[in-house]
Amino acid sequence: MSKLFVMDHPLIAHKISMIRDVNTSVKDFRELVNEVALLMGYEATKDLELTKTKVQTPLAETVGNVIEKQVALVPILRAGLGMVDALMSLIPAAKVGHIGLYRDHETLQPVEYYCKLPTDIEKRQVLVLDPMLATGGSAAAAIDFIKQRGAKKIKLMCIIGAPEGVAVVQKAHPDVDIYVAALDEGLNEHGYIVPGLGDAGDRLFGTM
């Protein structure tokens, strides 16, 4: 069974409350998603491998550490785009793939419309990015695509998760650890996370 990491940090809790607030502007929402993704990135990258390297300080030569080119970020379009800049600023050498999925509003089933992934994805630690893990259908389908292209090491990072979505992803992909900034109560009859934050894509891009 995969592990579920629920962030436990006052900075994240404070920012999540602002993200939830219906009165938060599009600009502030976007900045807050970026900031929470950055803070979560610290946790989700804890086990990246380090390679030893020589470093010359002004005083002496010493042994330093580098993270080699080993990460691929895969945002689920479109809301996942809101988390990319934060992770890119932490790991500038990361490659970025994109998966386009939207939930059919009637069936709540994910519909694919785009998939472009790094060609060497099988060698990389993949971080799948999507602010919302609701029914889990989109994340489970995205991870299916990524595995079909050969990826072996995958983690899922979401700002808000519902227990239903966590269970679906854990059942479909027991090898994929999940990181959420907050774990909410559940889903309403329309498949929205409650209390949640509403529609993440709309709030990021101002399409309400």
Angle, CA 120 vertex, CA 119 and CA 122 arms, to 5°: 120
Which of the listed partners (ligand URA, ligand PRP, none) does 41 bind, with a CB threshold of 5 to 8 Å by partner kind? none
Could you tell me which residues come within 8 angstroms of residue 20 by beta carbon, excluding any fewer than 6 positions away?
195, 196, 197
Residue 60 DSSP SS3:
coil
Q: Mark whether 103 is an active-site residue.
A: yes
Farthest-apart Cα atoms in the chain, separation: 66
Residue 170 DSSP SS3:
helix
CB of 14 to ligand PRP, least distance (A): 23
CB of 123 to ligand PRP, least distance (A): 26
Number of residues forming the site for ligand PRP (CB under 6 A): 24
The whole-angstrom separation of Cα 133 and Cα 32 is 18
Q: Which residue of 94, 141, 183, 200 would you call a contact of ligand URA, by CB under 6 A?
A: 200
Selected catalytic residue, list 53, 107, 119, 207:
107
CB of 145 to ligand URA, least distance (A): 19
Q: Mark whether 8 is an active-site residue.
A: no
Residue 136: left if φ>0, alpha if ψ -120 to 50, beta else—which one? Answer: left
For ligand PRP, the closer CB: 34 or 135? 135
| Amino acid at residue number 17 | S
Could you tell me which residues come within 8 angstroms of residue 192 by beta carbon, excluding any fewer than 6 positions away?
134, 198, 199
For ligand URA, the closer CB: 97 or 201? 201
Asked if 75 interacts with ligand URA (CB under 6 A), we say no
Q: Mark whether 203 is an active-site residue.
A: no
CB of 191 to ligand URA, least distance (A): 6
Which of the listed partners (ligand PRP, ligand URA, none) does 192 bind, with a CB threshold of 5 to 8 Å by partner kind? ligand URA
Q: Which residue of 73, 169, 176, 193 would you call a contact of ligand URA, by CB under 6 A?
A: 193
Asked whether the bond before 78 is cis by omega within 30 degrees of 0, the reply is yes
Which residues have a catalytic role annotated? 103, 107, 199, 202
